[in-house]
Amino acid sequence: MSERVALVTGAARGIGRAIALALGARGWSVVINYRGSRDAAETAAAEIGASGGEAISVQADVSQAADRDRLVEAAIAWRGGIDLLVNNAGVAPRRRADLLETSEESYDEVMAINLKGPFFLSQRIAREMIRAREAGRPGAPKIVNIGSISAYTSSISRSEYCLAKAGMGMMTQLFADRLAQHGINVYEVRPGIIATDMTEGVTEKYDRLIADGLTPIRRWGQPEDVARIIAALADDALPFSTGEVINVDGGFHMRRL
């Protein structure tokens, strides 16, 4: 159990933190990636250690090639390989703006962190996973992308975020197709309205929408709801599935009359 290594990006807070803690509790050695929240990342690592697991925190901005390389090298140096990559790191636009006012700066920042970074990090780690399997490393390596209902739900005040998540949906399909021959399954977990830092500013709006029946399950999602799915995938619960999208959205994705 202790030889299984998971790298979770953006794991200092919110959904990523819940995923890291869930994996640590199940015996995974966890690399907690963070961009700026060092204290929060080290606290999460300490919590995993206190529960009997093992974790390290590594600062890296996934949008930067040099940082991605350093992150992967740190994980491999620590435990010799990576068996699970969870592409969770993501940002919302710094300012919600009408589609017709979206700036190139905001577009570039969101796309770089939410899509470009996960794409090239997956590419780098997939190569490492293939080499490790060829060298006889046991287990079934996996990549899990944390998408969003924004992949198919129009939100004209954060168009760059929607585009990045839509792109992540195709990215999941592409890597699932390419890596199946190597025994590497790829999944997308698609959260809905989850109580995190990212949704704090719209709490009143979503409270009202949920109460009015926006989702069949009338409550906010919690980071732990997403983490439970990741833990199941990590434990190889879906070995004959790849490219699969798993909704964690209270039923939002269903078309209803």
DSSP 71-122: HHHHHHHHHS--SEEEE------SS---GGG--HHHHHHHHIIIIIHHHHHH
Query: According to the model, what pLDDT value does residue 257 have?
Result: 86
pTM summary value: 0.96
Please compute the mean of the pLDDT values over residues 2-28 and round it to a whole number: 95
Is residue 234 domain-resident?
A: yes
Is residue 87 domain-resident?
A: yes
Query: According to the model, what pLDDT value does residue 201 have?
Result: 82
**120-129, 154-163, 194-203: which has the minimum mean pLDDT?**
194-203
Please identify which of the residues 107, 152, 161, 187 carries the catalytic annotation: 161
Query: According to the model, what pLDDT value does residue 244 have?
Result: 98
Domain residue limits at 79: 5-248
Is residue 41 domain-resident?
A: yes
Is residue 189 domain-resident?
A: yes
Is residue 257 domain-resident?
A: no
2 — pLDDT class (breaks 50, 70, 90): very low
Is residue 256 domain-resident?
A: no
Please compute the mean of the pLDDT values over residues 190-196 and round it to a whole number: 96
**Domain count for the chain:** 1
Q: What is the CATH number of the domain that holds 190?
A: 3.40.50.720
Whether 34 is catalytic: no
End-to-end CA gap in the chain: 47
54-86 residue pLDDT tens: 999 999 999 999 999 999 999 999 999 999 999
Whole-angstrom distance, CA of residue 48 vs CA of residue 18: 11
Is residue 51 domain-resident?
A: yes
- Which CA distances in Å does 201 have to 133, 176, 204? 44, 35, 8
Query: According to the model, what pLDDT value does residue 198 have?
Result: 83
Is residue 157 domain-resident?
A: yes
